[in-house]
Amino acid sequence: MSELLQDLDKRKALLKQMMLQLHKGTAPAAVRAQLIRMLGQVPYQDVVEVEQELISEGLPMEEILKFCDIHSQALRGTITLQGVRRVPPGHPVHTFKQENKALQNEVNTLNSLYPEIDRVAEEGLEELLFEIRQHFIALSDVEKHYSRKEHLLFPFLEKHGITGPSTVMWGKDDEARELLKAALDSLASGPITRGDASTLAELVLKPATAAIDEMIYKEEQILFPMALDTLTDEEWQTIYHQSPEIGFCLYDPEEKWEAAEQAAEAKIQGEKITLPTGSFTVSELEAMLKALPFDLTFVDKDDRVRFFSHGRERIFARSRAVLGRKVQLCHPPKSVHLVQQILDDFRAGRQSRAPFWINFKGRFVHIEYIALRDEAGEYLGTLEVTEDLTEKRRLEGEQRLLQYAKESGNGDHKENA
């Protein structure tokens, strides 16, 4: 065992010495050749530990950031991921990796488009630059990927005493953000000549895509394996449940991580309600329900009225006296059998929606009953959605954003923009 530890220490010492050579100006290719000749494959843990030691020993963070990409160039092809834990779909690392695949596709597409700038006919340049800009808009979605990494993953690494890699990566994330912003601003600045487009590609666009590409490599080869070795399942579950609040990047994880779902804490904590697609406070939920341009009524699986919205769009009057009452008693006797038929069909699974529309007091009103079911298909109740479509039926042509129509009533008046 002592000989093994000595070998590990020697390997890390050699790796540190070679990384310091980079800071003294040795070319990455030369260092990579040395690594392969002397060490062969380098476990990712060694890279993390050596970088942490360099920072602890006083190597300035600015120096680490400056040479971070050079470290990656020297280490490409030498890092081994043997023994890295596999994760199931839905796990935060699986989601990060799927996002990286989508980001890599955008980077690869852009790299294939850059040579076209010098080859495309003059009349096609504008269209090509528009296409390039659309891919950069897609790349800007990386903000959510970086934010989840920085605000959810990094704090747990720091809790375990790992500060170096996360600090360095956050700095490189910020560099990528600045490069992306510069690229988007440049592409939106107006007509661009071919000469300017070539210069723009070399000085602004390519560095931005290279920054995204480089971070993908660092995450896949170092960050994610290290994090999987370090964090507990409970910590990953916390990240899993908080991730939807920040959002996902070019990928929507449809699979649920069953381990986290089974261990999930209560969805309601104090004023905060957390759902799979986001969260809000009770006050925010109340405001949303009041603002809906239609009214809602919820009937539970026992046919009792449990909730109704009370915004200004309510068409049929409701009072809280109706709560807890059988819904059959809320309808005229001549139509109760129709309501019962709908509820029976919903409960039996024969139908899931029952829309109809009527003229009511000179208004065209659309009403729809919708069956609510859980993930196992069990009937939970019925939602009634009622909407006054009178004005919408009269719409013609189009109205663009910010072309507000003047509203009357309730003190809401908006001027045309």
Q: Are strands 353-360 and 305-308 parallel, antiparallel or unpaired?
A: unpaired
Res 22: pLDDT: 53
* Confidence category of residue 16, pLDDT binned at 50, 70, 90: low
d(CA 380, CA 361): 33
Which amino acid type is present at position 258?
E
Mean pLDDT of the chain: 81
Q: What DSSP state is assigned to residue 271?
A: T
Q: What DSSP state is assigned to residue 123?
A: G
pLDDT score of 288 more than 70:
yes
Quote the Cα angle for 11-35-174, to 5°.
95
Alpha carbon of 101 to those of 139, 189, 208, 244: distances in Å? 12, 30, 17, 19
Considering only residues 307 and 79, tell me which one the structure prediction assigns the higher pLDDT. Answer: 307
Considering only residues 59 and 148, tell me which one the structure prediction assigns the higher pLDDT. Answer: 148
Return the domain boundaries, the chain.
2-80, 92-262, 292-394
Intrachain domains 92-262 and 292-394 with the same fold: no
Q: Backbone phi, then psi, for 63, in 5-degree steps?
A: -70, -40
CATH assignment, 92-262: 1.20.120.520
Q: Kindly report the number of other CB atoms within 10 A of residue 85's CB atom.
A: 10
**Tell me: the pLDDT tens digits for 186-196?**
999 878 888 89
Classified by CATH at the fold level, domain 292-394 comes out as Beta-Lactamase (3.30.450)
Q: Are strands 79-80 and 42-43 parallel, antiparallel or unpaired?
A: parallel
How many percent of the chain have pLDDT more than 70?
Answer: 73
* In contact, 64 and 55? CB cutoff 8 Å: yes
Q: Backbone phi, then psi, for 276, in 5-degree steps?
A: -60, -25
pTM above 0.85, yes or no: no
- Cα–Cα nearest to 362, from 319, 315, 314, 396: 315
Q: Backbone phi, then psi, for 115, in 5-degree steps?
A: -60, -25
- Cα–Cα nearest to 228, from 297, 160, 182: 160
d(CA 306, CA 254): 31
| Region of poorest pLDDT, from 32-36, 87-91, 238-242, 356-360 | 32-36
218, two tokens: 């660092």
